[in-house]
Structure 1
């Protein structure tokens, strides 16, 4: 670690603002409050600040924040925040640093996911890896040479928007696939698959083929050592792994595919863990 004071990590989404404190190597005091998603910028900012203030007794040394949107990382400006319409071009870093007199760093939540996995999870042994969150949407983050690769405005690795079939990879590799094609959420489909329902098993087999095409796209682009799956759909991996790996058989460079490791995240509170890891990645602190 670069410093020894407690680090506050925040995971800010359209539904909840979640927080936790890293003290030593342990994430403590994890809690959340509802996000005033339909409020003005001022209302949302004050809600974030009020939540941070409840952690004051820990003697926080720095704050890391993950947000589902694009961020000017150097300036700490949130260009947009998914599901919070008013939160556009908000200088969150300056606002919080002026309020609390603490260093603040902000990044995309999918970037936080892979950074948290690399710092605290089962992917820490890999130098080059990609994190994919499989949930309501499709998120992704990239580690190159043990460091987060952001691109411009934290937008690197946005495979969610890459055209695939008649739409995008997000439409086929997130919960949208199950809802659009089968009218059910992935969690319901997983329960059916566990009970041996053939329709659900076929659905996950199709899902695995689409995910395999995404993995091939990632391999052609970055050839990482490992890909880490997070998000709620990862829990159904046994039902789509076979078709995913069968799809990978058509990848043109066997030596790259054979060296690829697929890792299923076992890390709790990945958003908060990743936000904490942002501080260690970007903030220099003299204790």
Structure 2
């Protein structure tokens, strides 16, 4: 069943360091006006009570009872168990080991699902965004090729990622899948990637290269300086984004050698896509040196920019090729070129995270109910 025809309601939360935004989704669409509340990030008791109050207010505005609660929350965390670890951006959780999911299940008597925002972003793009769009375009051209693997990355205050393998969210055995921010920076190998491409890193790099220490300049401003839209040191801004693109590109190279799927880019810095993508594509389609000095392609697959019309058409142009089966008159189809594409979020980053939370709840609810029923049977049998 499509999430857009599903009439069940799931309550959601966008958990930021300053504010919590509560809402509810039905049929893939938000059905109440968002409720914004201060997070009370420095006081655990107040923070937890704020979460309960926010969901209570959402529930009171719904046309019918919700079936679940599902939302993104910062990590580290044991997401399946709903237990939040030590969070740097929410000091209230500084000691870790907070059973947030079980608390909400006990209070609201509803299944509660908590996930990493990068994972939920990627899952939404796989289920209702980039993958359906790309596969639909292939279908329209009578091409049999279909994509079922996806790497979703978010470029903003941090460098996040989520992995979908064979249309299934891959969180990892320790719920630490997609930690791309810790990949090594190619520009400065002593540093991790996020340290050179986050909002703060871009601000610092531009200040250093341009001599302009105005802290009000955000990556959007610096990208507009690089494009000549705003006044400023254009050469310094271009140098900053070229370095950022190189850091992102090499991290993506390492990731797609394992994932081999479509790359979807979201987050605030994705607004500088036109600045970043040429350098990213150039690097990913570049070469790497062998032990004997030869140069071979950096990746097995060729990378296409799916936001560029001509590049997208080339990506979709799978030619029907057949090869003969040895010692037989039979021929079989053969895809001689391996292809992956990079595309911007088809849903929008914030909405994708909410859609991902909604979709996760719908998909995991039967399993959750089955597990709960089994636990109840075990409890009754132990009593008897």
TM above 0.5, yes or no, is yes
Contact kept in structure 1, 2:206 and 2:236, CA below 8 Å: no
Moved more, 201-210 or 61-70: 201-210
- TM-score normalised by structure 1 residue count: 0.91
Q: Match for 1:60 among 66, 86, 89?
A: 66
- In the alignment, which of 38, 43, 53 is matched to residue 42 of structure 2? 38
Gaps of 5+ in 2: 136-146, 208-216, 288-296, 304-337, 370-384
- The answer to whether the Cα contact below 8 Å between 2:220 and 2:269 also exists between their aligned partners in 1 is yes
* Partner-residue secondary structure (3-state), 2:91: coil
Q: For the residues of structure 1 that align with 2:87 and 2:123, how far apart are their CA atoms?
A: 20
- 1:169 corresponds in structure 2 to 193
Q: How far apart are the structure 2 equivalents of 1:201 and 1:253?
A: 26
Contact 1:11–1:275 (CA under 8 A) maintained in structure 2: no
Equivalent residues in 2 for 1:103-252, closer than 5 Å: 103-124=111-132, 125=135, 126-164=147-185, 165-183=189-207, 184-195=217-228, 197-224=234-261, 226-248=262-284, 249-250=286-287, 251-252=297-298
Give the alignment partner of residue 77 of structure 2, picking from 61, 71, 75. 71
Aligned Cα root-mean-square deviation (Å): 2.1
Deviation of 1:82 after TM superposition, in Å, equals 4.2
Q: Unaligned regions of 5+ residues in structure 1, if any?
A: none
1:123 counterpart SS class: helix
Which whole-Å CA distance do the structure 2 matches of 1:5 and 1:154 have between them? 27
Task: Specify which of 89, 96, 104 is matched with residue 104 of structure 2.
Answer: 96
CA distance, structure 1, for counterparts of residue 299 and residue 246 of structure 2: 18
Distance 1:122 1:61 in 2: 27
Which protein shows a greater Rg? 2
Residues 204 and 79 (structure 1 numbering): CA distance in 2 closer, same or farther, change over 3 Å? same
Contact 1:109–1:271 at 8 Å: present in 2 too?
Answer: yes
Local SS of the residue matching 1:163: coil
Of 43, 47, 50, the match for 2:50:
47
Q: Residue 10 of structure 1 contacts residue 64 of structure 1 at CA under 8 Å; is this kept in 2?
A: yes
TM-score (ref. length: structure 2): 0.69
Q: CA deviation at 1:175?
A: 2.1
Contact 2:127 2:167 in 1 (8 A): no
8 Å Cα contact 2:183-2:251 kept in structure 1: no
State the match for 1:253 in structure 2: 299
2-structure distance, mates of 1:9, 1:119: 18
Contact 1:134 1:233 in 2 (8 A): yes
How many equivalent pairs are there? 284
